[in-house]
Amino acid sequence: MKPVFKTPEWMLAALEARRQQDLMRHTVTLQSPQVPHIHIKGQPFTAFCSNDYLGLANHPLIVKAMQESAAQHGVGGGSSHLVCGHLSPHQALEEALADWLGYERVLLFSTGYMANLGVISALAGKQRPVVQDKLNHASLIDGAMLAQAPLRRYLHADVASAEKRLMKSDSSGLLATDGVFSMDGDIAPLAALSALAARYDWTLMVDDAHGLGCLGALGRGSTALAGLEAQQVPVLVGTFGKAFGTAGAFVATSHDYADYLTQFARPYVYTTSMSPAIAGATLASLALIQSNEGQERRERLIQHIAYFRQRVSGLPVTLMASETAIQPIVLGDTHSALRVSAALKALGILCTAIRPPTVPADSARLRITLSAAHSLSDLVLLCDALERVLTQR
């Protein structure tokens, strides 16, 4: 017999409010690998909502590398990096990432959320404020809250607004931004923000979870695309769960910053290290990203983006200013977003509706994400379906 739990009234009320507002979230179980053509409850769908931008999540070379790494180094890290959980695949991955990105040091984290919590909570504090973009990822905001730091948010991608926040601060601190904004797909004005941080003696931190692997020379991300060197972005956070196709995260920085984070970033100090098998797989993924195949995949993704934008430009919706794999179609109210998502699903296309509080009120949307693993016929299918659904609204 299963146990019977008593649910607090406040919890029931909060859940009912979400239901009434069409804001309840639910888990969908895939019965296939993370590839464009998936199965859910035995039904086939073409998916356009994964962050697997380069199509590496089920790449045979990466799968093989994970198996080989697990066979040699095991699956579990065993303990934190600082006790006895730092294995040779971790060290090799850190060194390879540092060399690729031109930084002195790299520290690995188990997730991107944990990396942002760890970095901001260590570098910010009651006397070290945080200024960040209004549309930054929740983990950047939560990091400032964990640090109990004064937090000010500037208008999205507005450098003049950011400067006003810096000017009003009594002390310097951390200027933090996404590189590519996860819900809008646009790229932060990184060169201008770097110059601003230098002028006011603030530390610039960039979370490039959605840019690394896809943008810039050799896929080095949005900072490379902006022409910035490592010393102009002292703290760079990246994740492996998007273009890399694996899991985990890292921070690239200087020796001194890395030493400081090793002492004071609590999510780093007190967490078991990422699986050495995943570290080995990520090493293989990094090699692919740097290779001719990686470049071919980036070029294919660019072609997909151009085709999609050209096709959708003629539909009765407004495309957002995104040249990345994230191509949102804002529909406004939650009901419309859910209805269009359901209509696409009926046509065999999986594209999840994104609703508040993930995005601001009245900006519910389809967050369409494109992958190098999609074929042209997949794109044609998507655009034909969107034309059918959106012109019948």
182 is catalytic: yes
Cβ-Cβ contacts under 8 Å for 94 (sequence gap 6 or more): 105, 106, 107, 108, 250
Q: Which residues line the annotated binding site?
A: 25, 112-113, 137, 182, 210, 239, 358
Q: pLDDT tens-digit profile of 80-126?
A: 999 999 999 999 999 999 999 999 999 999 999 999 999 999 999 99
Q: pLDDT tens-digit profile of 124-161?
A: 999 999 999 999 999 999 999 999 999 999 999 999 99
d(CA 266, CA 269): 5
CB 280 within 8 A of CB 63: no
Token pair, residue 262, equals 């090793």
Q: Which residues line the annotated binding site for substrate?
A: 25, 137, 358
d(CA 266, CA 287): 31
What percent of the chain shows pLDDT beyond 70? 100
126 is catalytic: no
Q: pLDDT tens-digit profile of 162-198?
A: 999 999 998 999 999 999 999 999 999 999 999 999 9
pLDDT at position 4, please? Answer: 86
Query: Which domains are present in the chain?
Result: 27-53+292-390 (3.90.1150.10), 60-290 (3.40.640.10)
When pLDDT is averaged across residues 192-213 and rounded to a whole number, the result is 98
d(CA 82, CA 287): 27
| pLDDT level of residue 361 (50, 70, 90 thresholds) | confident
Token pair, residue 293, equals 């195949």
d(CA 103, CA 370): 30
Q: Which residues line the annotated binding site for pyridoxal 5'-phosphate?
A: 112-113, 182, 210, 239
Instruction: Beginning with the edge strand found earlier in the chain, give each strand of the sheet holding 37-40 in spatial order.
Output: 37-40, 43-47, 349-350
Cβ-Cβ contacts under 8 Å for 393 (sequence gap 6 or more): 316, 336, 340
pLDDT at position 393, please? Answer: 61
Indicate the pairing of strand 105-109 with strand 249-253.
antiparallel
Q: Is the pLDDT of residue 1 over 90?
A: no
d(CA 250, CA 241): 11
Sign of the Cα torsion 19, 136, 103, 52 reads: positive
2 is catalytic: no
Strands (E), the chain: 37-40, 43-47, 105-109, 130-133, 151-154, 174-178, 203-207, 235-239, 249-253, 326-332, 349-350, 353-354, 364-369
* Dihedral angle, C-alpha 122, 123, 124, 125, nearest 10 °: 60
* Choice among 69, 139, 182, 285 that is catalytic: 182
| pLDDT level of residue 3 (50, 70, 90 thresholds) | confident
How many CA atoms, within 13 angstroms, populate the side-chain half-sphere of residue 30? 13
* Choice among 59, 86, 210, 304 that is catalytic: 210
Minimal CA–CA distance to 102: which of 265, 236, 244? Answer: 236
Instruction: Beginning with the edge strand found earlier in the chain, give each strand of the sheet holding 151-154 in spatial order.
Output: 105-109, 249-253, 235-239, 203-207, 174-178, 130-133, 151-154
The mean-pLDDT minimum among 97-101, 234-238, 278-282, 339-343 falls in: 339-343
When pLDDT is averaged across residues 221-236 and rounded to a whole number, the result is 98
* Choice among 81, 242, 304, 374 that is catalytic: 242
pLDDT at position 178, please? Answer: 98
Cα 350 from chain centre? 20
Amino acid (1-letter code) at residue 209: A
d(CA 345, CA 355): 17
Q: Is the pLDDT of residue 380 over 80?
A: yes
Q: pLDDT tens-digit profile of 30-76?
A: 999 999 999 999 999 999 999 999 999 999 999 999 999 999 999 99
CB 141 within 8 A of CB 184: no
When pLDDT is averaged across residues 288-300 and rounded to a whole number, the result is 97
pLDDT at position 392, please? Answer: 77
| pLDDT level of residue 255 (50, 70, 90 thresholds) | very high
The whole-chain average pLDDT of the chain stands at 95
CB 125 within 8 A of CB 149: yes
